[in-house]
Amino acid sequence: MLTQEIIRKKRDGQTLDAPELKFLMRGLVDGKVSNAQAAAFAMSVYFNGMQIDERVALTVAMRDTGDVLSWDLGGPVVDKHSTGGVGDNVSLMLAPALAACGVYVPMISGRGLGHTGGTLDKFDSISGYQTQPDVDLLKKVTQEVGCAIIGQTGDIAPADKVLYGIRDVTATVESVDLITASILSKKLAAGLDALVLDVKCGNGAFMATQDDARELAESLVNVANGAGCKTSAIMTDMNEPLASAAGNAVEVRNAVDFLTGTHIDNRLWDVTSDLGAELLMLAGVVPNVGQGRDRISAAFTSGAAAERFGAMVTGLGGPADFMENMHKYLPVAPVVREVFATSEGFVQGIDTRGIGMAVIELGGGRRVSSDTIDHSVGFSDLAGVGQLMDKDEPIGVVHALSDADADAAAQTLQNAMKIGDDVLRPKPLIRENIIHDND
C-alpha cells in the first residue's frame, strides 16, 4: 500500500477501507507516515467527511495501535465520557456510585483542555493520590473497590497522540469524524462493555449549539456501538457551571460534600443520576432508567458511594481518612473572598466560558500544555441562573494566590453574571437522549 494513494482516495471523496486505515494509523506510530502526509489526510477528512463504517474502522485502527485492556471481574465494565465543561465534577460522584451498584469503572481521564477543567487535575489536588499508576495498580483498585479514576496508563492509542498534535497545528481539530475517532479510540482501549456520553451544549461547551452537539453525540453513539461497545448519550446544558464550584481542589471539596450529603447541587444530582441510570441499563443491571435512578440515588443516600470514593483514594495512595478530614489534605488558597453583584436582581445568564477562562487566569488551568497549575485556586459558592442576588448574597467566592488576582477574578465574575429584573423559568438541564440508530 502507498500512503499517498490512500490520501488521494480520501482527497477525491472516496471511502477508505479498514486495511487502508490500519496501514495509515500504524504508519503514524512507527514513522512510516510523515507528519506532512498525516496533515494532508486530516485535511481531506475535514473537507470530505467519512461514512459511519469508515469512522468505525478509523476508531478501531487507532485504538489497536496501543494497549487494549481486558478484564475478568465477574461484572460489567463501564465508563462515562464528558465532552467537557466548567464545574463538571460528575465523574467524582458517578464512578463510586456505579461501583456501589455492582459494576466496575476503570475511568481513564484527561487534563483540562482550553477553558474546561480536567478530572485528572482535580485528583492531583489530593496529596498522595497517584493519577498515573501502572496497569497492575489500576486493575487491583478496580477489582477491590469497583472504581479507579486515573490518567492514561500504559500505551493507550498512540496514533491519536500523534494525529492530535498534528491536527492542533493544522486547523483540523474541528472535524466530527476525527473528534469521534480520537475520543473513542482512547475510551474503547479500556476494554468496556458499556459507555455513556455526556455531550455538553451551551456557552461553556465546545459545541455551543444544540445541532452541533447532536451531530457529535450521534456520531459517537453510532461509532461506539459499531465498534462493539453498548453506548448512548445524553445532551446536557452547559450555559452555567454544572457544580457551584470551578477549579480543582474546590471541585473536589464540592464532590465530597455531595457524597457525604453536606451540600448537594441539584443540577449535579440530576445529571449524575441520569448518566448512572443510563449506564446501569446499558450494562443490563436494571431493566429501565427509573430503576437505574433509584439505584444511584440509594448509593448516595446510604453512604455507599462515599465509602467507595474514600476506598479509591486510599487504594491509589491517598490518605486513609480523606473523607473525614479532606480539609487537612486539600490545598487552600491564601486569599478567599466573597464577591457581590454590582446591582440587585435575578441572575439572567452566565458567561460560563468566561468563568472557565478566569480559573486559568487564577493559575488553575494551563495556557500551554507545559504549564504547571495551582490546585487551590478557583471559585466556590457560585450562584445559578434564576437566583435572586442582593447585598447579602454573594454571587461566588474567589480563591486566589494574591489580592491582585482576587480583584481581577472578582471583576470577571461580576461581568460573567448578568443581573436583571426578569423572573426566569428554569430551562431543561437534560436536553436530549441519543440512542443507537438500531436500538
Which residues is 236 bridged to in the sheet? 200, 430
Burial of 266 (0-12, 13-18, 19+ CB in 10 A): exposed
Q: Is residue 58 a contact residue for ligand URA (CB under 6 A)? A: no
- Spatial strand order in the sheet of 378-380: 246-247, 378-380, 396-400, 335-339
Q: Is residue 207 a contact residue for ligand URA (CB under 6 A)? A: no
Catalytic: which of 10, 63, 80, 161? 80
Helix (H, G, I), strand (E, B) or coil at 242: coil
**Cα–Cα distance measured from residue 205 to residue 86, given in angstroms and rounded to the nearest whole number:** 8
**Active-site residue, 418 included:** no
**Active-site residue, 109 included:** no
- Which of 206, 268, 180, 194 lies closest to 232 in space, CA to CA? 194
Q: Report 107-166 residues binding ligand URA (CB under 6 A).
A: 164
Q: Is residue 238 a contact residue for ligand URA (CB under 6 A)? A: no
Catalytic: which of 186, 267, 353, 375? 186
Q: Is residue 183 a contact residue for ligand URA (CB under 6 A)? A: yes
Q: Is residue 235 a contact residue for ligand URA (CB under 6 A)? A: no
Q: Is residue 182 a contact residue for ligand URA (CB under 6 A)? A: yes
Which stretches of 124-238 are DSSP H helices?
135-145, 158-168, 176-188, 210-226
Cβ 223 to ligand URA shortest distance, Å: 13
Please choose, out of 47-55, 123-131, 174-182, 423-431, the segment that lies near ligand URA by the rule CB under 6 A. Answer: 174-182
Q: Is residue 282 a contact residue for ligand URA (CB under 6 A)? A: no
Q: Which is nearer to ligand URA, 218 or 265 (CB)?
A: 218
Q: Which residue is nearest to ligand URA (CB)?
A: 182
Catalytic: which of 22, 111, 167, 399? 167
Cβ 392 to ligand URA shortest distance, Å: 41
Residue 264 vs residues 234, 261, 300: alpha-carbon distances, Å: 21, 6, 11
Amino acid symbol at 422 = D
Cβ 68 to ligand URA shortest distance, Å: 17
**Active-site residue, 244 included:** no
Task: Give, as one character, the DSSP assignment of residue 284.
Answer: T
- Which of 266, 291, 254, 261 lies closest to 276 in space, CA to CA? 291
Catalytic: which of 115, 187, 267, 293? 187
Q: Is residue 179 a contact residue for ligand URA (CB under 6 A)? A: yes
Q: Which is nearer to ligand URA, 128 or 165 (CB)?
A: 165
Task: Give, as one character, the DSSP assignment of residue 430.
Answer: E
The answer for residues whose C-beta is within 8 angstroms of residue 383's C-beta and 6 or more apart is 244, 347, 389, 393, 394, 395, 396, 417
Cβ 183 to ligand URA shortest distance, Å: 5
Kindly tell me the number of DSSP H helices and DSSP E strands found in the chain: 17, 13
- How many residues form the binding site for ligand URA (CB under 6 A)? 6
Residues of this chain that interact with ligand URA (CB under 6 A) are 164, 173, 178-179, 182-183
Residues with active-site annotation: 79-82, 119, 167, 182, 186-187
